[in-house]
Chains A and B, each alone.
Chain A
Amino acid sequence: MLNVNGQTEHLTVPSHRLLVEVLRQDLGLTGTHVGCDTGQCGACTVLVNGRAVKSCNVLAQQVRGAEVTTIEGLSPPDGSLHVMQLAFKECQGLACGFCTPGMVLSAIDLVLNHPCESEADIRNGLEGNLCRCTGYQSIVRAVQQGAEAMKR
């Protein structure tokens, strides 16, 4: 039994299956990306009980009973955006967009669970998420703006 984006999914999952495989292949949640296969890039980041987790490094069995949030479950069904998504949109904190779901979810964990007062804090906090196209500047700006909005 998996709780994904507020829905309970009853699945028979072999013990070796990774969380990212179940999300992408069994549940069709392809917003969670596989970038590097090595736990480096963070494109597969999801929230497990509110904390950022690289879903390519977690067995699906390990999150049984936990609340998993993917990028698809971040914004409400009415089509509005989470303030962090909105900040990424307004600051254009993306280029090819492949790292974006992981970046957004890592940023939310960063704001909720870690000190991110300064630009340096944010840069340090995004250490687990690689981006090849933006040079990070617009991402850092987006996280700064999103953090302000989340604190309001």
Chain B
Amino acid sequence: MRGAALTDSAAGQAVDVHEDLNCLTGRSLYADDLVLPNQAYGVFVRSPWAHARISGLEPRAATACPGVLQVLTADDFAHFGNAPPGGCVQGGLGAPLTTRHPILAAGWVRYVGQAVALVVGDSVAAAKAGAAALAVHYERLPAPIDVACATGSPATLHPGAPDNVAFRWAEGDEAATAAAFARAAHVTRLHLRLPRVIRSPLEPRAANACYDADRDHCTLHANERDLRRAAWIPGARLWDIPGPWLRAGAAAGEAGSGVPVPDELGPEEWALLRASLQLGRPVKWTAEQGESFLTAIHDSDHLTEAALALDAQGQFLALQLRTTVNLGAYRSTPTGAAAARHDATGLAGPYAVPAVHGEVTGVFTATAPVSADAGTAEAIYVRERLVDVAAHELGLDPMVLRRCNFRRPTSRSVQAAPSDQDRLLDQVLVLADVVGFPARRAVSDARGRRRGLGLCCQADTGAVVCEAEVDPSTGAVVVDRVSAVSDFSAAIDPANAERQMHASLAQGLGQALMEQAVYDPHTGQLLTASYWGYALARAEDWPLYAVQLAKGRSGNGSPSTPAEGISGETLGAPAALINALCDALGVKDLPMPALPDRLWVAAQARDA
């Protein structure tokens, strides 16, 4: 992240960010800008197949190419297991399967784009020519691609997982939840698919590894976000580097990316470190954009069955969740652990729900690995959609249903003292001018458009309201109003906090409306490997956001939790927008992303 001058400013005052000046004048140093003396250039040979056995790998032709300095394959990493460090899920049902991501593919490739070899040359052109000359023979194998059918697929990815299941996780009180469902007056059920997204910062992945023989240490300059885990590296000389030595370098430390892509070093970085050690020269690699899309750690990709039990008064009795999490081809880091815990335990959010039970199954597919961060946003989306659908089915106002189920310090009755969540909701409803909504809807109706309003209460830390208009004859959407209130506890720089809210709102709106990573279900090719296929919102897609920091808290509760609030609105925006679109069209559910063709079909079906 950019450096901020905090020392001279008190919390609550604007902070002057010195780095802005460098960014504005072109003096910022990004990973690809760095040129080290005598640097060589690395190009990765990547798998063209989703799943295959490598039956032969012949580097001689590549090595013989003019300007090629070395060719690294899995053999170069055999002595330390050919895998970067990683964690594994603690607990769970049965022993979790640990399958670390190989640095370079050893024997098998398990997703399109997996690195097979690193060719280093004295120019990019030489390395590319060497990479093209490298002979790799593959025997293609059947590949599980779609997470919905992976567990029943005869195609298995790892020998230890015949059903492609990495782990099963359960949380909560199963018996109490079942009992609550048995006595419920109403049960709302929802099947949701949260598509895979790619965080895709504009800056391509790039790294420059520099080995210094005199001091026997390796410096990595890379634009990965969090290099701290590099300190976990055990054993062999290359990896046995104290954390401070493996410093992030200018690209990450100075400018870096504000978008959290992989928060651990990827296989590419480890391969470059090794190449530099062997060669005694800096080795630089800059991904082409397609490469970034193929190998950036992807996010979300959950398949969920959820149910909400209510009594005759509309009080929540129980929540139940069964989620299948697509892990991609490897669980090289604690991937999936966070998803499992967040999905199951975060499900109730701001509501008083006596019984909650969640089951999460982590499944391998022949696709790029999915982020360890997934889970929190998905839980909010599932819950806030469930509440809206319950309100829809029962003919209740979604706002009223939410409010009468908020957790309250002493009593669950509506007459109890307002909670912080009540205050947040009051604040965001005023900000969104919800009172004026019927008039705006009437104007839209007169123009042949359908206007809807959607709400999301993500937790005690924030709430979002969206208003959107759909043209039923085309499915085109105008996101007209977006309002959000977030509790940052004590914002050091309020204006900057508001800009963080803008950023996270935009991410969430994009996920709801247009972003999705698509793999061909048969071949496992990533069909959305550039901005031609992967939709990133442009300036005209969004309105001006109305954002506010939360006003005073009740003072009787625990201190607010900025950990979630800091970027919380990303988490609320998808549910708020999908709720608004469902409200606009008068339908129970819409698939995410809500693309125009899907909205058009929903509108036509509703009118038929």
The residues of A with any CB-CB pair to B shorter than 8 Å are 24, 29-38, 40-41, 43, 70-72, 74-75, 81, 85, 88-89, 92, 94-101, 104, 119-120, 122-124, 126-127, 129-140
- In the complex, 19 of the A-B residue pairs with CB atoms within 8 angstroms, ordered by the A residue number, are A31-B25, A33-B203, A36-B289, A81-B24, A85-B25, A88-B20, A92-B17, A92-B20, A95-B503, A97-B28, A123-B539, A127-B540, A131-B202, A132-B199, A134-B502, A135-B499, A135-B506, A138-B502, A140-B544
Bound Cα distance A32, B28 (Å):
11
Within 8 Å by CB of B255, from A75, A96, A119, lies A96
Closest to B259 in A: A132
Bound Cα distance A131, B510 (Å):
12
Residues of B14-36 at the interface with A, using a CB-CB cut-off of 8 Å, are: 17, 19-30, 32-33
Interchain nearest-CB distance for B381 vs A (Å) = 19
Contacts of B531 in A (CB 8 A): 36, 38, 40-41, 130
Q: Are B499 and A95 in contact, CB atoms less than 8 angstroms apart?
A: yes
Q: Are A130 and B32 in contact, CB atoms less than 8 angstroms apart?
A: no
Bound Cα distance A36, B496 (Å):
28
Residues of B190-204 at the interface with A, using a CB-CB cut-off of 8 Å, are: 199-204
Interface centre among B21, B499, B545 (most CB of A within 10 A): B499
Bound Cα distance A32, B531 (Å):
19
Contacts of B200 in A (CB 8 A): 132
Contact with A along B252-277 (1 / 0, CB 8 A): 00011111000000000000000000
Given contacts A35-B203, A40-B530, A97-B28, contact A123 B536 (CB under 8 A): no
Q: Are B289 and A30 in contact, CB atoms less than 8 angstroms apart?
A: no
Q: Are B545 and A137 in contact, CB atoms less than 8 angstroms apart?
A: yes
* Total number of B residues with any Cβ neighbor in A under 8 Å: 50
Contacts of B530 in A (CB 8 A): 36-38, 40
Q: Are A126 and B25 in contact, CB atoms less than 8 angstroms apart?
A: no
Bound Cα distance A31, B200 (Å):
20
Given contacts A127-B539, A130-B202, A130-B531, contact A71 B17 (CB under 8 A): no
Bound Cα distance A6, B226 (Å):
40
Contacts of A120 in B (CB 8 A): 540
Q: Are A37 and B502 in contact, CB atoms less than 8 angstroms apart?
A: no
The answer, yes or no, to whether B280 is at the interface (CB within 8 Å) is no
Interface centre among B17, B504, B539 (most CB of A within 10 A): B539
Interchain nearest-CB distance for B134 vs A (Å) = 22
Given contacts A97-B2, A133-B258, A137-B545, contact A31 B496 (CB under 8 A): no
Closest to B21 in A: A89
Q: Are B20 and A89 in contact, CB atoms less than 8 angstroms apart?
A: yes
Q: Are B544 and A137 in contact, CB atoms less than 8 angstroms apart?
A: yes
Q: Are A95 and B258 in contact, CB atoms less than 8 angstroms apart?
A: yes
Given contacts A92-B496, A96-B255, A119-B544, contact A132 B202 (CB under 8 A): yes
Number of A-B contacts (CB under 8 A): 160
Q: Are B25 and A130 in contact, CB atoms less than 8 angstroms apart?
A: no
The answer, yes or no, to whether B290 is at the interface (CB within 8 Å) is yes
Interface centre among A70, A94, A97 (most CB of B within 10 A): A97
Closest to A137 in B: B502
The answer, yes or no, to whether B495 is at the interface (CB within 8 Å) is yes
Interchain nearest-CB distance for A124 vs B (Å) = 5
The answer, yes or no, to whether B505 is at the interface (CB within 8 Å) is yes
Bound Cα distance A93, B478 (Å):
24
Bound Cα distance A123, B136 (Å):
48
Bound Cα distance A140, B541 (Å):
12
> For chain A, what secondary structure do more than half of its interface residues adopt (helix, strand, loop), or is it mixed?
loop
Closest to A140 in B: B539
Closest to A127 in B: B538
Contacts of B30 in A (CB 8 A): 30, 33, 98
Contacts of B538 in A (CB 8 A): 123, 126-127, 130, 136
The answer, yes or no, to whether B542 is at the interface (CB within 8 Å) is yes
Other A-B pairs, 10, CB within 8 Å; known A31-B28, A70-B26: A38-B531, A72-B27, A89-B24, A95-B499, A96-B256, A97-B28, A98-B255, A124-B539, A126-B538, A132-B202
Within 8 Å by CB of B24, from A24, A88, A137, A138, lies A88
Closest to A95 in B: B258
Contact with A along B49-89 (1 / 0, CB 8 A): 00000000000000000000000000000000000000000
Bound Cα distance A140, B506 (Å):
14
Given contacts A38-B531, A70-B26, contact A134 B499 (CB under 8 A): yes
Given contacts A41-B202, A135-B505, contact A71 B26 (CB under 8 A): yes
Bound Cα distance A70, B24 (Å):
11
The answer, yes or no, to whether B139 is at the interface (CB within 8 Å) is no
Bound Cα distance A127, B540 (Å):
7
Contact with A along B538-560 (1 / 0, CB 8 A): 11101011000000000000000
Contacts of A98 in B (CB 8 A): 30, 201-203, 255, 257
Contacts of B504 in A (CB 8 A): 135
Contacts of A31 in B (CB 8 A): 25-28
Q: Are A136 and B202 in contact, CB atoms less than 8 angstroms apart?
A: no
Contacts of A96 in B (CB 8 A): 2, 201-203, 255-259
Bound Cα distance A120, B541 (Å):
10
The answer, yes or no, to whether B288 is at the interface (CB within 8 Å) is yes
Bound Cα distance A100, B22 (Å):
10
Contact with A along B464-500 (1 / 0, CB 8 A): 0000000000000000000000000000000110010
Closest 7 CB pairs of A and B: A31-B26, A97-B23, A135-B506, A135-B502, A71-B26, A40-B531, A123-B540
Q: Are B542 and A35 in contact, CB atoms less than 8 angstroms apart?
A: no
Given contacts A30-B33, A95-B258, A96-B258, contact A38 B26 (CB under 8 A): no
Contacts of B505 in A (CB 8 A): 135
Bound Cα distance A98, B24 (Å):
10
Contacts of B495 in A (CB 8 A): 92
Bound Cα distance A122, B538 (Å):
11
Contact with A along B280-291 (1 / 0, CB 8 A): 000000001110
Contacts of A34 in B (CB 8 A): 32, 204
Bound Cα distance A74, B25 (Å):
8
Interface centre among B288, B289, B504 (most CB of A within 10 A): B289
Q: Are A104 and B24 in contact, CB atoms less than 8 angstroms apart?
A: yes
Closest to A38 in B: B530
Within 8 Å by CB of B289, from A35, A71, A75, A88, lies A35
Bound Cα distance A40, B537 (Å):
12
Q: Are B539 and A122 in contact, CB atoms less than 8 angstroms apart?
A: yes
Interchain nearest-CB distance for B258 vs A (Å) = 4
Interchain nearest-CB distance for B550 vs A (Å) = 19
